[in-house]
Chain A
Amino acid sequence: MTSEALYVRRREWLKNAALTVATAGGVGGGLLALLGESARPRVDEAPEAPAPSALVPSRRSVMLDPKVDPNTSFDAITTYNNFYELGLDKADPSENAGSLRLRPWTLTVDGLCHKPTTFDIDQVVKSFPLEERVYRMRCVEAWSMVIPWLGFPLAELLQRVAPTSQAKYVAFTTLLDPAQLPGQKRSVLDWPYVEGLRIDEAMHPLTLLALGLYGKTLLGQNGAPIRLVVPWKYGFKGIKSIVRIELVERMPKTTWNDAAPDEYGFYANVNPEVDHPRWSQRTERRIGELERRITLPYNGYGEEVASLYRGLDLRRNF
């Protein structure tokens, strides 16, 4: 064979090899971009979130057996979040949380009460003794976690403002500020996020206002600086970054119920017997585990709360 022929063949081979690699890179890169897996540039506008500070509870209530329900890792709790105001993907809120300014922050408690009050958040931290409560958290999307919250019963705050006898429900509102919560620039839901509880649910000792988890103040993605935790209800009832709590007479509007009334009810009690129209609620995946767990009625808190719903048709009032 002439050396020229060999040269031409080798050149041809090299050209094909290079083009194959380039095509593979282009196709692979394009696919990863479509899958949202590309090295996504971090949102520049979102400043670095401040590190959480330590919070010391005065009391610990161990309600769960850590052998059966071990705590979900801090990492998972703070990177796997549904907080559409900070982005739609589970990892978005942790990346964008820096845009939420946690101080100054005020919480207004008003409506049908004798002593409406606007609290500064630091005042709240000081005036209510904090407890650690380890609760199961069951998302309506059929996954769950175990979270060591730091907080105090909502009832204590409500008693402070002395509700009138007309107050039958409690309405909660998240901060409305698209600059701090950029997800509010898109009308995915009707902002601000609002939630509600019946007054007896709100006064129940299990219902918590949380200021922290794992011994630290809440991070933005978990609903800092203050959020609701109702362990026997689906996670979306746990409204985040609350600015207002209002005592009202009529059942208030709640965001997910308003968005899709056939899929998300006002009560939203965890109930394996009543499926979401698009998926089963019988089982759940505990974050950190592969095998599914059986979902418990009222998320395992039936003994404490089932009596609140005596006589209520749970199929209709899902």
Chain B
Amino acid sequence: MAELAAHSGSTPKPYAWLKPGVFIGCLVPLALMVIEATQGQLGADPVAIALNRLGLMALITLVGSLAATPLRRVLGWAWPLRLRRMLGLFAFFYAFLHFTLYLAIDQGFDFSAILEDVAERKFITAGFAAFLLLVPLAATSPLRVRRMLGPKRWQRLHRLVYLAAALAALHFIWRVKRDLSEPVLYAAVIGVLLVARITHRKPRPLQAARK
């Protein structure tokens, strides 16, 4: 009994609250949006507002998952790594909702109009490509699939996330009419995170030992 008390009391699972807290936090904007939509509080053009918010949530959570590794390497923080997979899946989740809203409500399943959009409008081409790139990443996220692939192949595949992030930032930049400050800020953050990975490479203890 004393042992049990010691186990659960003095050596608690560290950061047990982190993941559930962030999980709930990431759903807050969606919950609020659904409430606002059902009460007609989403403004005069609710579809446009919902599209903007879902798209921005996808971008923010994607940036969050991209930040985990640089934070670890540059600042030595380990805790963001616990959130990386969940944030990546949130990015896919919100991108999926964003795309589905565009497909079903905004365009009303008018596939010829959608094909034309994807083919001819570069901001939609970029956004669509970013979404497609997230699909295999989400599909290979379960631990079982990850083991099947092996760490090397899995990592190579998941480097696609850089491309997806760059395309998502372009999608945002290209669709804005005049004031570019917000999308450019996101693009800059993504740029900094990518540069940080190059300047702070993963230490290779094995190779160092061989030399």
A residues with CB within 8 A of B: 1-2, 4-5, 8-9, 11-12, 16-17, 19-32, 34-35, 37, 75-76, 79-80, 84, 88, 90-91, 141, 143, 186, 188-189, 259, 275, 278-280, 282-283, 285, 287-288, 290-292
Contact = CB atoms under 8 A, between A and B. Distances in A.
B18 A280 contact: no
B4 A5 contact: yes
23 contacts: A1-B1, A4-B5, A8-B5, A8-B10, A9-B5, A12-B12, A16-B12, A20-B17, A23-B17, A23-B24, A24-B21, A24-B28, A25-B25, A27-B24, A30-B25, A31-B57, A32-B28, A79-B43, A88-B179, A91-B43, A285-B47, A285-B48, A288-B44
A5 B121 contact: no
Interface stretch (B105-113, B150-158, B192-200): B105-113
Nearest to B174: A278
A287 B45 contact: yes
A27 B9 contact: no
Given A9-B9, A20-B20, A84-B178, A79 B56 contact: no
Contacts of A287: 44-45
A143 B53 contact: no
Contacts, number: 135
B179 A188 contact: yes
B26 interface: yes
B114 to A, nearest CB: 10
Q: By CB atoms of chain A within 10 A, which of B2, B21, B47, B121 has the most?
A: B21
Q: By CB atoms of chain B within 10 A, which of A26, A84, A259, A279 has the most?
A: A279
Contacts of A29: 28
Nearest to A19: B17
A35 B16 CA distance: 28
A280 B47 contact: no
B60 A34 contact: yes
A127 B100 CA distance: 54
B8 A31 contact: no
The 10 A-B residue pairs with the shortest CB-CB distance, nearest first, are A23-B21, A27-B25, A28-B28, A5-B5, A8-B9, A80-B44, A19-B17, A24-B24, A76-B44, A20-B17
Given A76-B44, A291-B108, A35 B5 contact: no
Interface size class of B (residues with CB under 8 A): 35 or more
Given A143-B45, A280-B117, A291-B108, A37 B32 contact: yes
B172 interface: no
B178 A189 contact: yes
Interface in B39-81: 43-45, 47-48, 53, 56-57, 60
A305 to B, nearest CB: 26
B25 A23 contact: yes
Q: By CB atoms of chain A within 10 A, which of B4, B122, B174 has the most?
A: B4
Contacts of A37: 29, 32, 53
A143 B44 CA distance: 11
A19 B44 contact: no
Contact of B28 (A8, A31, A279): A31
Interface in B84-142: 105-108, 110, 113, 116-117, 120-123
Interface string B158-194: 0000000000000000110111000000000000000
A2 B5 contact: yes
Contacts of A278: 121-123, 174-175
A92 to B, nearest CB: 12
B124 to A, nearest CB: 8
B9 A28 contact: no
Contacts of B28: 24, 27-29, 31-32
A84 B177 CA distance: 12
A35 B17 contact: no
A88 to B, nearest CB: 5
A35 B9 contact: no
Contacts of A32: 28-29, 32
A31 B58 CA distance: 11
B149 interface: no
Contacts of B107: 292
Q: By CB atoms of chain B within 10 A, which of A23, A141, A186, A290 has the most?
A: A23
Nearest to B107: A292
Contacts of B44: 75-76, 79-80, 90, 287-288
B129 to A, nearest CB: 16
Contacts of B117: 279-280
Contacts of B123: 278
A90 B44 CA distance: 9
